[in-house]
Structure 1
Amino acid sequence: MANQSCCSGSSSRKKKAASCCGGESGAVEKVKLRPVIKSQSCCNTEPEAESGQPSCSCGGQTPKQEKWITGYIHTPIGDVPQVPAQLSFSDILGSWKCRWSIGRMDYAVDPGLYCVGNPDTQSPVLVTANYKMTFDRLRMELGGLDAWIVVLDTDGINVWCAAGKGTFGTEELVHRLQDVRLSEVVSHRTIILPQLGATGVAAHEVKKQSGFRVVYGPVRASDIKEFLAAGMKATSEMRTMGFTFWDRLVLTPAELVAAIKPIIIVFGVMFILNAIGLGDYGLVDLYALLGAIITGTVLTPALLPWIPGRAFSFKGFLLGLLWAVGVNFINGFPAIPEYGWLKAIAYILTLPSLSAFLSLNFTGCSTFTSLSGVDKEMKAALPVMIISATIGIVLLLVNDFMLAFGR
């Protein structure tokens, strides 16, 4: 993907890269070269007479008009895109699709400078990531405010994850502040960063390299107005990250979709085994596997605080075990199940292991797990899951062999 040009607030990151106006972009040399989402034009300083849309006065290409850009604010550095605080149906639909992993990797906005309302040189400056859902969540909370929004190039990743990966970091922030020429837009020297981005940013280095003082805002964008009204002072509640039932539940669709894809392959193998006479799989196996998946990706995350134990995998294993016993009970347990004892035992081994593994994956979504803790849990839980699932699969194959060739 091509690097964006300088005047639009998204310059090439190579040292002394030429702008569309023939000058130098002034990019910070030490910033690592990473691909930018897509190219824009350069200056956007004067609207065309016929269309009223801003064009590049130095011969560049007219920028693409995104649906969520409603106008432009004229500034000393050129026209800055203006975005509404109200989300459109398209914005809401886009977020919903991302929840289900539809187009998730491409759901991003161009890094650069944007504004809400009609900001002036004294208006606050908020910094965020270029994951569009994050960008939308911020602007929807800015109704009635006049503010500038500096969007960093985080490769389309949310603030918290990008801070951990280093894309929401000191170098990118300094680079972007210089790139959008923020010092020429506002008269103050204060920028507000989301608290969840603090792990990636060294505030003293930002001050040293750019002249801007970093203030960390609240955890939730919904507290921005109150934070600004209080003179940029956060309460203890604003500094506390929650992980409510709803917070957990909205994360489960993506986990479910990720788990369904490989299971489709498993169903395909079952169908082939049935077709060649080496299997006897049917509706029971279908709902048994789907139930284990839903248990690990939806039920365990949703019920997380109320399930005994600390380890996510253990919580998933417990619910998976209950599901496996339930499947066997429906099919004749405690008497000999209609599909035989071998398959019944196989379910007891495989279904909880599957639920435990999927529950372990949810550690990456939680607000209270640590890398060392997850690493420790994986080392302890994965071998148990693998051994249990392997024995269960062997029992299933033995059961199929016995059915195919006689007991």
Structure 2
Amino acid sequence: MSLTMDTTDTLGGKERNDHILARIGYKRGEHRVTPGLYRVNGPDDKSPVLVTSNYSLSFDAVRSHLKGIAAWVLVLDTKGINVWCAAGKGTFGTDEIVRQVKGTGLEEIVSHRRLILPQLGAPGVKAHEVKERTGFVVEYGPIRAEDIPAYLKDRKATPEMRQVQFPAKDRVVLVPVEWRNYLKLGIPAGLLLVVLAGWFGLGVFLLGYVGSLFFFPLLFPYLPSKKFSIKGMALGALLSLPLLAWSWLGPMPLVEMALVDLAVLLGMMGVVGYVGLNFTGSTPYASRTGVKDEIFRFIPPMVAMSATGLALAVAAGIGIYAGWF
């Protein structure tokens, strides 16, 4: 018994709206399609079988790059998570592939015994076990869906198809969801800064919250070090420069200015360093061991910098109201 569904190689307004909502982090985990076997462009028993996750953006990326290509798309139940992350979590894995192959009756539908998996799904899959349990051979296709048509022509991946890329457009598209992730903390903190420090507080908020979440992805390859935390701290120091210049040009007494400048510098480095550390889950470069290492090595100094910056800011504020300066 087989169960298949039809889909197309064209995306409409519904899909584009879904992509926008996913990009801003609205109802995360709900951007998914029904797992199972899909027909694209009238495939036959010899048509290739491409495997992907049921995250709607992953599924749409695959089918939209099958223009005029007859193919089967086997969608795994990854709980609405993309291929790379699902492979790490185990939902894009051996057991789910076996379950979907058997559940859809794929062996009755195609005459060949070959599954084309995205390369980024490899960490979660034991290819030899898939073959033993289903009879299907696992073949790893290109990293990017846009390379699928070229790959299918001769079933060979060029070095470029195997190369992980993270260009500016892929980095900047992450900004809206990052802004939303920090919204619950960012807005109250921004209001508090404005109440306590007026325009200067607004500047701290704009550079520390809006600026860091925009410039970190944009400048990611150019920031020093391979450590995400150090990249973030370096950006924090850079973003603090306009605020330091602002205080120097203002009427602040020397002692107050020194306290404020040091508070801003340490606070920005600590906070933006944390932003950088959290960006590990958004790139194809981080590893579990690397992330754990950064957490243990850099969280304590970042907390210390943020706490010291806050203490200095409080000291400066008390000094002003008490007339010490």
Matches within 5 A, 1:168-317: 168-230=92-154, 232-269=155-192, 274=195, 280-317=196-233
Instruction: Report the residue type matching 1:253 in the other structure.
Output: P
Pairing partner for 1:141 from 65, 71, 75: 65
- Identity percentage over the alignment? 39
Q: Deviation per CA, 1:326-380: give whole Å up to 9, x if none.
A: 1121233487479744323211110121111101111222222222222222222
Instruction: Report the residue type matching 2:48 in the other structure.
Output: P
| 3-state SS, counterpart of residue 5 of structure 2 | strand
| 3-state SS, counterpart of residue 104 of structure 1 | coil
| 3-state SS, counterpart of residue 37 of structure 2 | strand
| 3-state SS, counterpart of residue 331 of structure 1 | helix
1:367 corresponds to: 284
- Cα distance, 1:310 vs structure 2: 2.3
1:125 corresponds to: 49
- Cα distance, 1:77 vs structure 2: 2.9
1:401 corresponds to: 318
Assess, with a 3 A threshold, how the Cα gap between structure 1 residues 270 and 290 changes in structure 2: closer, same or farther: closer
Instruction: Report the residue type matching 1:394 in the other structure.
Output: A
2:18 corresponds to: 94
| Structure 1: distance between partners of 2:106 and 2:149 | 22
For CA contacts below 8 A with separation 6 or more, give which structure has more relative contact order: 2
Instruction: Report the residue type matching 1:314 in the other structure.
Output: I
Q: Deviation per CA, 1:31-57: give whole Å up to 9, x if none.
A: xxxxxxxxxxxxxxxxxxxxxxxxxxx
2:76 corresponds to: 152
- Cα distance, 1:184 vs structure 2: 1.4
Instruction: Report the residue type matching 2:260 in the other structure.
Output: K
Q: Which has the larger helix fraction?
A: 2
1:163 corresponds to: 87
Assess, with a 3 A threshold, how the Cα gap between structure 1 residues 154 and 337 changes in structure 2: closer, same or farther: farther
- Structure 2 alignment gaps of length 5 or more: none
Q: Determine if contact 1:295/1:355 at 8 Å carries over to the other structure.
A: no
Farther-moved stretch of structure 1 (134-143 vs 187-196): 187-196
- Cα distance, 1:268 vs structure 2: 5.0
Q: What's the TM-score, normalizing by structure 2?
A: 0.93
Farther-moved stretch of structure 1 (348-357 vs 260-269): 260-269
Q: Determine if contact 1:85/1:116 at 8 Å carries over to the other structure.
A: yes
- Cα distance, 1:142 vs structure 2: 0.4
Q: Does 1:328 align with 2:244?
A: yes
Instruction: Report the residue type matching 2:179 in the other structure.
Output: L
Q: What's the TM-score, normalizing by structure 1?
A: 0.75
- Cα distance, 1:270 vs structure 2: 5.1
Assess, with a 3 A threshold, how the Cα gap between structure 1 residues 336 and 153 changes in structure 2: closer, same or farther: same
Q: Determine if contact 1:154/1:167 at 8 Å carries over to the other structure.
A: yes
| Structure 2: distance between partners of 1:124 and 1:91 | 24
- Structure 1 alignment gaps of length 5 or more: 1-75, 275-279
| Structure 2: distance between partners of 1:221 and 1:351 | 38
Instruction: Report the residue type matching 1:167 in the other structure.
Output: T
- Cα distance, 1:281 vs structure 2: 2.7
- Cα distance, 1:181 vs structure 2: 0.9
- Cα distance, 1:162 vs structure 2: 0.3
Q: Does 1:77 align with 2:7?
A: no
Q: Determine if contact 1:101/1:254 at 8 Å carries over to the other structure.
A: yes
Matches within 5 A, 1:35-114: 77=2, 80-114=4-38
Q: Deviation per CA, 1:361-405: give whole Å up to 9, x if none.
A: 112222222222222222222111111110111122223333444
Higher radius of gyration, 1 or 2? 1
- Cα distance, 1:299 vs structure 2: 1.0
- Cα distance, 1:156 vs structure 2: 0.3
- Cα distance, 1:206 vs structure 2: 0.6
Q: Deviation per CA, 1:146-197: give whole Å up to 9, x if none.
A: 1111110001000000000000000011011111111111121111111110
Instruction: Report the residue type matching 1:110 in the other structure.
Output: T
| Structure 1: distance between partners of 2:42 and 2:58 | 21
1:357 corresponds to: 274
- Cα distance, 1:406 vs structure 2: 4.1
| 3-state SS, counterpart of residue 50 of structure 2 | strand
Q: Determine if contact 1:353/1:388 at 8 Å carries over to the other structure.
A: yes
